[in-house]
Amino acid sequence: MLLLKRPGQRYAWLRLLFLALAALLTARYFVWRVTETLTYEGLASFIAALALFAAELYGGVIYGLGLFVNLLPLDRASPPLPADKTLWPSVDVFVPSYNEDPEILETTLIAAANMRYAPGKLKVYLLDDGGTEQKRNDPDSIKAAAAQQRHETLQALCNRIGVHYLTRAHNVNAKAGNINAALPHTRGDLIVIFDADHVPTVDFLERTVGAFIADPKLFLVQTPHFFINPDPVEHNLRIFGQIPSENEMFYAVIQRGLDFWEASFFCGSAAVLRRAALMEVGGVSGQSITEDAETALSLHARGWKSAYINRPMIAGLQPETYSGFITQRVRWAQGMLQILLLKNPLIQKGLHWWQRLAYFNSAFFWFFAFARVIFVLAPSAFLILGLHIYNANLPQFFAYALPHVLAAVIVSDFLFGRVRWAFVSELYELTQSIYTLSGLIRVLKSPRSPSFIVTPKGEQRSEDFLSELARPFYLLYSLTLLSLGFGVWRWFAEPLTRAQSRFQWKRFMSDGEHGAKGDGVDA
């Protein structure tokens, strides 16, 4: 059994027992929920009750999958390189770019060129998708001139630094196509990919390449993404540097959990890939707009292995505006749903059952948008419309729901307390839900329709401003205030419903804490 094969898991069985007990409390809750609370009290109430139950069920499934994925996070050592440098594989560094400023690219390219490695075995390439022949010959003369200027500027920059400049004829398949177009023009045994704003440390190759020599079936070494600027939530709340950043939960815990199950995946940057493996599947996959995770899924299905080294060795930039943040997260959500629909890991041939569950968890997580919106609207359905959507009383809540909720909170703190503070997941998921929800619906209607939209890099926010994307949240806030007003009115006008009102509000608050907590992808 895989659990018994992994070394170095001290007190593993105590951890497993603790998580199993928490899972039993959740299972007990859902058995009660199905058998005792889903009663028919009118069509409208029953439909609303089913919607709330579906949101809870999603939360229960993703909670269970999260327990599975994070059973025994793996701390993998970085194998050293051999003393004989003639045994070191040759390395090509790809820095894909689309519209980033030359100043950002210069910093990354200089850092990449100065990584310590065997002389003559390291080459750095800028892959410029903003200066392609297609763009330089755009019918719009202004756009064509801008592309030509970029082409010449970046060529001169590469010549000055001593790295190679590559572009292509047509902008096909976004980042995946850009990387694939460079493959025939390069020869390195390994390919390192850095986003345009991801600046590596000098020891990046020394701490990653050795794994490929140690294991000839290894196709990927992924390392964490570390960011030096606040995202819009951290900026608005003035919490940057005071609490763990939003991405730490994924990179410090979840990727290690996935690595234990042989399912850590490519996150698009700060990674090393074996060229032979990439060529076996025709290069980076392009069916979805999360080409990185899709490529890893294809290679895992072919028997290749991945490794995750939990040592931050790049410093990057994350979107500073809310619109840039939403653009990034909608792309992740749509891409992972595309993988679920087009390459369903649960039925993907070649994967072990544990890899199927791990990949399914990473994709299914993004349905949190549906659950979050339902949880936000549920109090209004009860307080304003008077719908009976959760048929239980206070003693039943304390007997079944409260143990489940407390166990979920304790487990969350046990697994992620060092990297994710209470209610932070709820905050980030709620700020994304409205827009990721509409993006997910578009994919459900047409799985192949989404197009790759580049995440803004190096945005300059000289002053605070109110994003146009904030408007739907004001509607939700207004609805919540209206619901509270109706609640006060019902308190005095319908005294017999006071106990039910107290109970329902407690229940909805507990839904907000645990209902859609799970494991996502920061790719």
Could you give the residue numbers annotated as active site? 129, 292
Structure tokens belonging to residue 413 = 């703190």
Cα 515 from Cα 421, distance rounded (Å): 16
Length of the chain: 523
Degrees (nearest 5) of the Cα angle 324, 326, 332? 110
Strand-strand pairing, 91-97 and 122-128: parallel
Inter-residue contact 334 to 435 (CB < 8 Å): no
Cα 489 from Cα 491, distance rounded (Å): 5
H helix intervals, 132-249: 133-136, 141-161, 174-182, 210-214, 232-237, 248
What are the C-alpha distances in Å from 179 to residues 128, 172, 271, 523?
10, 11, 13, 16
Contacts for 130-135 with beta carbons within 8 Å, 24 or more apart?
Answer: 130/97, 130/98, 130/99, 131/167, 132/167, 132/168, 132/169, 132/170, 132/171, 133/167, 133/168, 133/169, 133/170, 134/169, 134/170, 134/171, 135/171
Inter-residue contact 113 to 128 (CB < 8 Å): no
Neighbouring-strand partners of residue 316: 227
Inter-residue contact 519 to 429 (CB < 8 Å): no
| Strand, helix or coil for residue 220 | strand
Buried b (16+ CB within 10 A) or exposed e, 170-195: ebebbbbbbbbbbbeebebebbbbbb
Cα-Cα-Cα-Cα dihedral sign, residues 131, 134, 136, 142: negative
Q: Count CA within 13 A, CB hemisphere, residue 229.
A: 16
Sequential DSSP letters for 318-357: ---SHHHHHHHHHHHHHHHHHHHHHS-GGG-TT--HHHHH
Element (H, E) at 498: helix 498-514
Cα 52 from Cα 64, distance rounded (Å): 18
